[in-house]
Amino acid sequence: MEETHNNQVSMPQSRDLPARERTAAGFTEELPKLLLASSSPRRSQILQMVGWPFELGAVEIDESLHESESARAYVARLAAAKALASADVHEHRPVLAADTTVVVDEHILAKPEDVEDGKRMLRLLQGRWHQVLTGVALIYAAGTEVDVELTEVRFAPMSDAEIDWYVSTREPMDKAGAYAIQGIGARFIESIKGDYFNVMGLPVRLVYELLRR
């Protein structure tokens, strides 16, 4: 898949990382403990899976979409806003924030407003490809990095009965695009191009790359 990273912000910040011993090649196995500015259980699960130490520091921000704002700009802006808001509360800590959305036909699909909205989203996605974009913001000793990861996902065709049943499980109701690739929704995913963890909500490889910039 083509390179999808697009650096958005680079500005100095005074955030300190724990002291780390590096090899001659500049590599260290030790990862800094992050303050995760997110209440998403999926993002916490991913960091736990890859052995990255963290604690929670979620904040509330206005997530309204600006007029004529692209999906890429939207998730980058929200990730940066979350990180900065959390950093203001928890000073001198490496802060990580992310925001994920789903795009089909240039329409942004956020979390469903209700059951019928969830069904509407699944009807749009079924039998075709769509894009999942996650904005990631990292504030640490070297400054602030904001980037965006893109993954393409193809849904299998779904019958009305399958859509009704899936929404009735309630799994789609707090997910962008109304599905969870790591849950029941996996049975409807035909193919994926890109980072699987990005679809879950946190492209951990991108986080690691941002830390090394």
Torsion 71-114-60-150 (CA) sign: negative
**Residue 99 amino acid letter:** D
**Residue 196 amino acid letter:** Y
93 to 81, 124, 140, 189: CA distances (angstroms):
16, 41, 7, 38
Residue 5: CB atoms within 10 Å: 14
Q: How far apart are CA 100 and CA 96, in angstroms?
A: 14
Query: Which residues, at least 6 apart from 18, have a Cβ–Cβ distance to it below 8 Å?
Result: 30, 32, 33
**Residue 99 annotated among the catalytic residues of the structure:** yes
Q: Which of 16, 99, 147, 174 is the catalytic position?
A: 99
- The catalytic site residues sit at 99
